[in-house]
Structure 1
Amino acid sequence: MLSSRNTYEMGDTHKVRIKGWNKTFGASTDRKKAGVAIMISDKAKAQIDLIKRDREGKYILLKGSIVNEEISLINMYAPNGIASKFLIEKLGELKEEIDSKTILVGDLNQPLSNLDKSNQKINKKEVKEVNEILEKLELIDIGRKINRNKKEYTFFSAPHGTFTKIDHTLGHRNMTLKCRKAEIINAAFSDHKAIKILIGKGTWRAKSKINWKLNNMILQNQIVREEIIETINNFIEENDKGETSFQTLWDAAKAVLRGKFISLSAYINKLGRTEIKELEMQIKKLENEQIKNPQKKTKVEILKIKGEINEIESDRTIELINKTRSWYFEKNRQNRQRTG
């Protein structure tokens, strides 16, 4: 239901549109456009009562409700090199806003324990200071609470060949009681991985009606074109006997083709997911090898496989962009018809 982003163009706010995610809140600065943003799914039925932004675009805070349940959301980016001092300062600024309904996410550029770095060479003083203020605010690392001693990382430093967990999802002590699952997943076009949190079974769920529409991008696939042509030929051969009206024949053909497109789309998506899953398993294996025995060739292989994953995700993103464009075109056309 919720998505945070650590790169945002305030000047292009009107262009940041994704179908189903119309509520986008960002923070930036006049001098530097890079900032942070929080996107909320339309399905969440959210009401935002308060927005608080950092003047430098380093954090944004939202307070409101989702399906009548109160929540406070913070997305924060802590600059590299001064992360610990920054966190202590900014969390101090927000202490009056942090309550039992708070979730804080973002690139904090700061490990919170020895388990958050592969070589375990952390600045113990900085970690202690940050954890002390988190403890005062009753904020807990949700991923660590759920996964305990599990070693997983969100960032791979190619120059140093080290892995760290510097991206975190923190929740108030009371909020963490609702969290059921936390996992680190790959994020397309980013050198950081994402953290996915499952909050309470059924919490903030909303039913939605899905209307199927043909994805024109699928027609670029040679296998799909051949299958559809064969389906049409077989349908005509079996049903066009001159005894059925054209309209009835066409209605039946549309139903058959729709079913065929759905099955082909599912098949292609499954192939893509399987390929990405296999590549992710290879990365995980190589990452474990790199942690135990750092090697240059292993580091190069990790980066190579990440490139392959990004290439696959690029195709998916282009497809999503085209679908979103079509959706907005159709929406605007309908609006013009109503007002015309």
Structure 2
Amino acid sequence: MQNVLHFSVSLSRTRDGKKKNLLELIRKFKSVFHHNIDITMTNQSDYKLTIISHNAKGLNTPVKWRMAYKNYLAHHADIIVIQETHFKKGREPKFLHPHLTRCYYSSATNKTRGVAILIRESCPLVVHTSHMDREGRILLLQAQLNDKPITIVGIYAPNTKQSRFFSHLNNFVTNKKSGDLVVTTDFNNVLDVKLDCSSHRRDRGTGRANRALIQFLKDEYLFDIWRNLNPKQKDFTFYSSPHKSYSRIDLILISGTYLPYLYDSSIEPKTWSDHSPILGTLLIPQLQASRGKWRLNESLLSDDTFCKDLYKQINYYFKENCQTKQ
């Protein structure tokens, strides 16, 4: 069995000049010993933002809640987007877990469809506004992360009249987004019929609906994170019994500006739902806090001892630095 050495290199406290030299040294090591050395470069100042997208096929029972959130929190998820919540409009729970107290919903008037976005209490995401459609299929949050605007979108697409829905979705997102996008979705359709289906199906990956879907991705400059990391691999998130075929219809998409921050993505095993959860992780650079301007604590001016000492120091300064040259 081949021995592998693992190195974890932290760059957070390394000066720029030394950091460049260190990275060059690491590249040389990897080029010579790449079969035996695994080097992971991390930055302690980066925030690891973990996102889960999952079609739950109903969360109306306490048993399902417990299974769901035990699974979600085991992955240390910051943002959880759930499709098919089946909560009735106006009857959604205020919160479903002590660590997930920030809950946003788009629900139908009956117990069908529904999208929820749950945000971990410790997540630095600040939500300003939420928007939802009337059908319980779209939920959009205008938010802020590290002082930058970001829009989180949860989508549960219909099986029928998809072309109309994707055109409506495009307009909805375009009119309400702010900043870069993170889109989590069950599209009920695929982007590439050859790679995302186990067998060719005429109802997916072709036709007007697929063209409208692809146009949405192009207009919003969105990228499929799992496919970005697995360009040729086949894996699936859903099995259709009537069609006897597997497909990858559940996706996490991000704006192109977030691609450099993409760290990982995986399709998790199916457990209590008929869909597999999708995980995505972004390493978001932390903004350094501004030092601001120095300002005198004015309360010190009411301290007689301080004022006498200050007066003495000012006189000393001018005596030493402003004497007339002979």
Matched, 1:7 2:84: yes
Per-residue deviation, 1:40: 0.3
Question: Please, which moves more after superposition, 114-123 or 55-64?
Answer: 114-123
Report the residue type matching 2:184 in the other structure.
Answer: V
Question: Equivalent residue of 2:183, what SS?
Answer: strand
Contact 2:113–2:156 (Cα < 8 Å) also in 1: no
Provide Cα deviations, 1:53-83, integer angstroms capped at 9, x if missing partner. Answer: 1111111100112354432100011111233
Q: Which has the higher helix share?
A: 1
In the other structure, the counterpart of 1:273 is none
**Equivalent residue runs for 1:167-246 within 5 Å:** 167-200=250-283
The one-letter code sitting in structure 2 at the alignment partner of 1:132 is: Q
Give how far 1:202 is off. Answer: 6.7
> Closer, same or farther in 2 for the Cα pair 1:99/1:117, shift >3 Å?
farther
Is the 8 Å Cα contact of residues 108 and 166 (structure 1) preserved in structure 2?
A: yes
Q: Does residue 92 of the first structure (1) align with residue 171 of the second (2)?
A: yes
1:108 aligns with 2:187: yes
TM-score between the two structures when normalised by the length of structure 2: 0.58
Contact 1:112 1:131 survives alignment (8 Å): yes
Separation (CA, whole Å) in 2 of partners of 1:13 and 1:179: 33
Q: Note the C-alpha offset of 1:87.
A: 1.5
Match of 1:135 in 2: 218
Q: Is the 8 A contact 2:198 2:246 kept in 1?
A: yes
**Are 2:116 and 1:37 aligned?**
yes
Aligned length: 204
Q: Is the 8 A contact 2:142 2:177 kept in 1?
A: no
Under a length normalisation based on structure 1, what TM-score does the superposition of the two structures give?
0.55
* Cα deviations by residue, 1:280-304 (Å, 9 ceiling, x for unpaired): xxxxxxxxxxxxxxxxxxxxxxxxx
Distance 1:33 1:155 in 2: 19
Q: Match of 1:26, SS? A: strand
1:57 aligns with 2:139: no
For 1:7 and 1:124, how far apart are their aligned partners in 2? Answer: 25
1:80: which partner in 2?
159
Say whether the 8 Å CA contact 1:100–1:174 is kept in structure 2: no
**Corresponding position of 1:147:** 230
| Residues 113 and 127 in structure 1, CA contact (< 8 A), matched pair in contact too | no
CA offsets per residue over residues 28-47 of structure 1, 9 Å max, x none? 13345541000000110332
Q: In structure 1, what is the equivalent of residue 198 of structure 2?
A: 118
Q: 1:7 Cα shift?
A: 2.8
The answer on whether the counterparts of 1:83 and 1:108 sit within 8 Å (CA) in structure 2 is: no
How far 1:26 moved relative to its partner?
0.3
Residue 24 (structure 1) aligns with = 103
Which residue type is aligned with residue 30 of structure 1?
T
Superposed CA offset, 1:206-244 (max 9, x none): xxxxxxxxxxxxxxxxxxxxxxxxxxxxxxxxxxxxxxx
Report the 3-state secondary structure (helix = DSSP H, G, I; strand = E; otherwise coil) of the residue aligned with 2:175: coil
Kindly provide the amino acid, as one letter, of the partner of residue 158 in structure 2.
Answer: P
What is the one-letter code of the residue matched to 2:262? C
- Backbone CA RMSD of aligned residues: 2.2
Secondary structure of residue in 2 paired with 1:128 = helix
Q: Measure the CA separation in 2 of the matches of 1:21 and 1:202.
A: 24
Write the deviation string for residues 108-154 of structure 1: whole angstroms up to 9, x where unpaired: 10101121111133442232332123102211212112211111111
Runs of 4+ in 1 over 6 A off after TM superposition: 201-204
Report which of the two structures shows the higher radius of gyration computed on alpha carbons.
Answer: 2
Following superposition, the deviation at residue 168 of structure 1 comes to: 1.1
| Equivalent residue letter for 1:49 | H
Residues of 2 paired with 1:140 and 1:37: CA distance?
22
> Offset of 1:52 from its aligned partner?
0.6
Equivalents in 2 of 1:155, 1:55: separation in Å? 26
C-alpha distance in structure 2 between counterparts of 1:113 and 1:14, whole Å = 37
Give, in angstroms, the shift of residue 5 of structure 1. Answer: 0.7
Structure 2 SS opposite 1:44: coil
- Deviation sequence 1:226-268 (CA, Å, 0-9, x none): xxxxxxxxxxxxxxxxxxxxxxxxxxxxxxxxxxxxxxxxxxx
CA distance in structure 1 between the aligned counterparts of 2:229 and 2:114, rounded to whole angstroms: 29
Name the SS of the counterpart of 1:127 in structure 2. Answer: helix
- In structure 1, stretches of 5+ residues that fail to align are 205-340
Q: Secondary structure at the match of 1:96?
A: helix
Cα-to-partner distance string for 1:173-222 (whole Å, 9 max, x where unaligned): 11233112111012432101111001016769xxxxxxxxxxxxxxxxxx
Counterparts of residues 317-332 of structure 1 (less than 5 Å) = none
Map of 1:46 onto structure 2 = 125
- In structure 2, the gaps of 5 or more residues are 1-77, 288-326
Q: Structure 1 residue 156 and structure 2 residue 239: aligned? A: yes
Give 1 or 2: higher strand fraction.
Answer: 2
